Every structure is written in structure tokens, then in C-alpha cells.
Chains A and B, each alone.
Chain A
Amino acid sequence: MLESLLEFLIQGVVLGGLYALFAVGLSLIFGVLDVINVAHGEFFAVGGYLAFAAVVLLHLPGAAGVLGAAVGTFLLGLCVYPLLIAPLKRRLGGRPQGPLYLVLTLGLSTFLQSSLLALAGGDYLRVPPQVSGILDLGVTAVSHQRLLVLGMAAALLTALFAFLRFHPEGLAVRAVALNPDAAQAMGINLPRIFSLTLALGVALAGVGGALMAPLFNVYPAVGFPLTIKAFAITILGGMGNPVGALVASFLISIAESLSVMVIPSQWQSLIAFAVMIVMLLVRPHGLLGRAVSR
């Protein structure tokens, strides 16, 4: 019994790394821009496609695939604010209309996903693992690829939180999340911070996509189930709170993993949505509330 518990716990932690990469970016984008990025999963998919292009088409090493995914999704992400969100903001004249931005990013999601389908076809593309081999922990075995995902998530998120905490630009990002008017009075260029934050957030998803490509395969809709789950995670942690998203990622992934002991595995995803609905009814601002982390 204890052995199974441990096994599922470890698997849950490993899965949490992926969720964290995804959900922290989503939460950060909401915290700073006040926009829920329904298209987040599509950047995950794009990351996978870029990794495929780098490794399978251009015969570059796996690391180049990951780097290419990061850079590519970052650049793509830079386009979103000026092309889509800023024009809507201008038309709304500063009135907050959350659902309209949701509809906008839903449109973007549909557009990106079907564009990928149009450009690359619907086949499941295979990408070789960046690292091979398995780590045998006795009670369970974890592939090195999955450990890489966890490790990269840890490294990137540590860098992100350090950036937010210590770097002047990171301080500016937090300032914009807290009080955009005051941030402007400090000389902070809002459109620049918005673009930067969005690009950073989706780049995290893109890296996730590149790292998970060997495990999930690459196809246009690969990111969407993660997006919906990430909504549940960010709500649990507090929308707009990246630290909350980090904590909630592991809470959900471990809960999902442990739940296999009591319910059939195909119902695992229900947990995340049930949690989300309960949270929205009981405590909509999540476990940790909204403030951007220190």
C-alpha cells in the first residue's frame, strides 16, 4: 500500500512540473494583462512543432529544438498584444470587459489550432526524446525525459521568480500587475510590459510543448486539454498569482495521480474540473488570492 502511494506520489510530482510550466505562465498573463489566454495550449503545440522541425526536419540536436521552441513561441507571443489585445483595449476605452477578451483569445485559439492543422496536417508527429533512459527508484521507474521536464520546469520557474523578485524589469512587471496607473507614473511603458509578459508566459508553454513532444506526440490539438486543466489549476491557486499556480499545479497533479487508486484512470481529469467548480463557488479568488508574488 505504501509502495503504491509512493509510486503515485512520485508520478504526481513529475507531472506537476509540466502543469506548473503551463499554469504559471497563464496566471502571470492574467495577473498583468487581466486577460485569460484561451490560446495558451496552442503555443504549447507550436513549441512541439518547432521542436519537430528542428530535430526531425533540420537534424539539429534535441537542445536546439527546445531553444528554438522557446524563441519561436516568444516571438509569436510578442505579436499577440499589439495585434489583438491593444486594438480591443483601444475600442473599449479602458472599460473592463473580461468576457470579450476571453472571446478574443478563444478566436485566437481556434485560429492557431486550425492554422496548424492547415499548415502541418493532422497527423501525430513523432519526436525523439531529448534524453533517453530510465531512472529506477525501486518503488517506481521514471523516464529521464520526464525528469528533464521536471528539471527544466524547476530551472525556468526559479529563473522567472528570481526575475520578478530581483530584476528591475521584474519589479516593473509586478508593479503593472498591482497598479497599472501608478506604474505608468513611474515611467513604466505599459504596452512594452504587456507584450513582454505575454511572450514570457507563452514561451514557458512552448518549452513545455517541446519537452513533452516525445511523450505526447505533436498534433494541432495537443495543447487544448492542458489549457482547460490549467484554468482549473490557476483558479485553485488564485488567478493572477504565479506562486499560487505553482502550488496548485502540484496539488492537482498529485491528487490526480493518487486518485488512480480509487477511481478508474479515465476519470482522472474530472478531479481538476470538480475542484475548479468547487473553488469558484466557495472561494473564487483561490487559495492564495490575487497578488503577484514577492
Chain B
Amino acid sequence: MLELDGVRSGYGKLEIVQAASLQVGDGAIVGIIGPNGAGKSTLLKTAFGYLPPFAGRIALDGREIAGRRPDEIMRLGVGYLAQAGGLFAEMTVHDNLVLGGYTVSRADKRRAIDAVYTRFPLFRDRGGQLAGALSGGEQRLLAIARALIVRPRLLLLDEPSAALAPRFIDLIYATLVALNRDGLAMLIVEQNVEAILAVAHRVFVLDLGRNAFDGTPAELRASDRIRRLYLGEDEAAAGPGL
């Protein structure tokens, strides 16, 4: 569904992603993990059009989308959830949802917002509250709810678990899994390796702007090297005799 091939990108003259490739199959959950500064978020932003790639191919359903604007890519059925500050904090919950439906007709918008209130009842009574007044976890949920209004086929999520209490992390990921069962594909950049390994079909490891490894979560866990380098396991925990 989404294919990145040999993508190079960065900010101004600073090249952060040196050569990254990955694929997201229809209806799959794909994770991107790696050390800080590896270029994970940069790659996601490039895929969504916030940054033009210096080189490489980005294709959605086989169609080249590199260099397109974010709003154009969004209209092709892709949603993007920023790591922080993705909501309109000074606007109400309801207005945020209305904006989520900017590209749909008024009737569809009303139906979709009602569907969101049904799926996420906690927002129903808080439509008039400022989005910025919600807790971190609620804001993350609102961002997801908002993205669903236009019924995307692919969601790009930048560290959905960042700065969240464990209970909210579980809730967010349970929600994502449920959405995925309905057919929604996802590309998730994550720092919280356990959370993503538990749900992803495939994981790509990015290090210093390049692909370092990719495989299923089981394959990742099976490799001692990967476990040590990227899955944050202690030397001591790896056992004696090293």
C-alpha cells in the first residue's frame, strides 16, 4: 500500500535520513523503531509531505506521491498523527472534530462526528471543552478520533505512546488494534519498543538514517544482536558466559 524506496531527507542542508526503505501492506501494522536521532520521525514527516525528499521514491498504491503537499496526501486516504501539538488546543473538542471533517460534505460530517461520539463516549459531553484542557491521553485519543472522521485507509502515527501513563498506552494500542481489525493500515514510529512489538506485523529498525534490520517481531526478538542494540536489554539479562 505504501512504499518508501531509498528515501533521503532532512532539514535544509542537514541530511537526517540517508537511505531508508520500507513497505506497508494493505491492512498491516508496521512499526519503525531505532535510537534517538535515527530519523524515524523525519521519515514519517517525509512520507506525509511535510518535508520534500532529497531523493528516493514514495508510492501510495503504486502512485508516486513524493513532493506532494500534506493536504493532497491526506485526501488520498492517509491520516497523520503528530507526536505532540497535533490538536488545535485553543479550539473546542467539537471544533477539532469538525475540522477533521473539513474535506467531507456537511451531511457526511455530521454522521461521522456522531459515529465518533458513539465510539468514544467520553467526548460526547465534553464537546464544548477546549482541546488543550484535556489530559495527555485524552488528547491522543481525540487526535485519533479526529483522524477517523474521513475514514482513512492508512494512519501515520509518530510515537503515539509518548509521555502517556501506562494505562493510556494500553488504551491507545487497544484502540489501534481494534481499528486495524476493521482494515485500517498503520505505520507507527515508536520509542516504546514493547508496545509496538506486541501489535505490529512487521518492524523496521532505523539507525543513523538507514535501515538496520526488518522482520516480524518474533524475528527481531530471536536475534541477540537486535535485542541488545535496539530492544534495550541489559548485558546482564542476556545471561552468563558472554
Identify which of A95, A187, A291 contacts B71 (C-beta below 8 A).
A187
For B95, the chain A residues whose CB sits under 8 A away are 171
Interface string of B46-78 (1 = CB under 8 A from A): 001110000000000000000001110011000
Is B177's beta carbon under 8 Å from chain A? no
Assess whether A179 is interfacial by the CB under 8 Å rule: yes
Closest to A187 in B: B103
Supposing A171-B98, A172-B99, A172-B102 touch, asked if A185 and B70 sit within 8 A by C-beta, the answer is yes
> Chain B: interface residue count, which band?
20 to 34
Q: How far is A291 from B95 in the complex, measured between Cα atoms in Å? A: 15
Is B12 a contact partner of A95 (Cβ separation < 8 A)? yes
Kindly supply a per-residue 1/0 record for chain A positions 70-107, scoring 1 wherever the CB is within 8 Å of any chain B CB and 0 otherwise. 00000000000000000000000101000000000000
Interface flags for A171-198 (1: CB within 8 Å of B; 0: not) read 1101100110111111111100000000
Task: Bits for A147-179, please: 1 = Cβ < 8 Å to B, else 0.
Answer: 000000000000000000000100110110011
Q: Are A186 and B74 in contact (CB under 8 A)?
A: yes
Determine whether the beta carbon of A187 is less than 8 Å from that of B85.
Answer: no
State in angstroms the CA–CA spacing of A291 and B132 once bound together. Answer: 13
Given known contacts A187-B75, A189-B71, A190-B71, is B88 in contact with A178 (CB within 8 Å)?
Answer: yes
Chain A residues near B48: list those with CB within 8 A: 185
Determine the residue in chain A with the shortest Cβ distance to B50.
Answer: A181
Whether B150 and A187, one on each chain, are in contact in the complex, defined by CB atoms closer than 8 angstroms, is yes
Whether the pair B102, A185 counts as a contact (CB closer than 8 A) is no
Q: Which residues of A contact B12 (CB under 8 A)?
A: 93, 95
The interface on chain A, measured as residues whose beta carbon lies within 8 A of the other chain's beta carbons, has a size of 20
Selected contact of B102 from candidates A93, A181, A188, A291, CB within 8 Å:
A188
CB neighbours (8 Å) of B98 from chain A are 168, 171
The reply to whether A178 and B50 form a contact with Cβ atoms under 8 Å apart is: no
Contacts of B79 in A (CB 8 A): 185
| B 1-52 contacts with A by CB, 8 A | 11-12, 48-50
Binary A-proximity of B193-210 (CB < 8 A = 1, otherwise 0) = 000000000000000000
Cβ-defined contact, B103 with A185, below 8 A: no
Q: How many Å from the CB of B42 to the closest CB on chain A?
A: 14
Number of A-B contacts (CB under 8 A): 71
The secondary structure that dominates the A interface is helix
Q: In the complex, are the beta carbons of B99 and A184 less than 8 A apart? A: no
With A168-B102, A171-B95, A172-B102 as contacts: A182 and B69 at CB distance below 8 Å: no
B90 near A: Cβ within 8 Å?
yes
Is B90 within 8 A of A291, CB to CB? Answer: yes
Partner of A178, one of B70, B91, B103, B147: B91
The answer to whether B85 touches A184, judged by C-beta atoms less than 8 angstroms apart, is no
Measured between beta carbons, the chain A residues less than 8 angstroms from B86 are 179, 181-182, 185
Given known pairs A174-B91, A187-B71, A189-B71, the reply for A182 and B85 (CB within 8 Å) is yes
With both beta carbons as reference points, the residue of chain A lying nearest to B74 in the complex is identified as A187
> A191: nearest residue on chain B (CB-CB)?
B69
Q: For the complex, is B100 an interface residue (Cβ under 8 Å from A)?
A: yes
Q: How far is the CA of A181 from the CA of B82 in the complex (A)?
A: 9
- Name the B residues within 8 Å of A188 (CB-CB): 71, 99, 102
Q: A40 to chain B: closest CB distance in Å?
A: 26
Neighbouring A residues of B80 by C-beta, 8 Å: 185
The CA-CA distance from A246 to B218 in the complex, in Å, is 62
Q: Which of B92-115 contact A (CB under 8 A)?
A: 95, 98-100, 102-103
Q: Which residues of B contact A186 (CB under 8 A)?
A: 71, 74, 99-100, 102-103
Bound-state CA distance A189–B49 (Å) is 13
Interface residue? B186 (CB, 8 A): no
The interface residues of chain B lying within 8 Å CB-to-CB of A183 are 99
**B71 contacts A179, C-beta separation under 8 Å:** no
The docked-state distance in angstroms from the alpha carbon of A291 to that of B99 is 17
Residues from chain B with a CB closer than 8 A to the CB of A175 are: 88, 91, 99
Chain A CB within 8 A of B189 CB: no
With A93-B12, A172-B99 as contacts: A185 and B88 at CB distance below 8 Å: no
Counting CB contacts under 8 A, is B148 at the interface? no
Residue from B74, B87, B88, B147 in contact with A184 in the complex, judged by beta carbons closer than 8 Å: B74
* CB-defined A-B contacts under 8 Å, sample of 7: A171-B95, A175-B91, A179-B89, A181-B70, A182-B86, A185-B74, A185-B82
The 9 closest A-B pairs by CB, nearest first: A187-B103, A184-B70, A185-B80, A187-B74, A186-B102, A184-B71, A187-B71, A186-B99, A178-B88
Q: Assuming A168-B102, A181-B86, A190-B69, what are 7 further A-B pairs, CB within 8 angstroms?
A: A171-B95, A171-B98, A179-B87, A181-B82, A185-B74, A186-B74, A187-B103
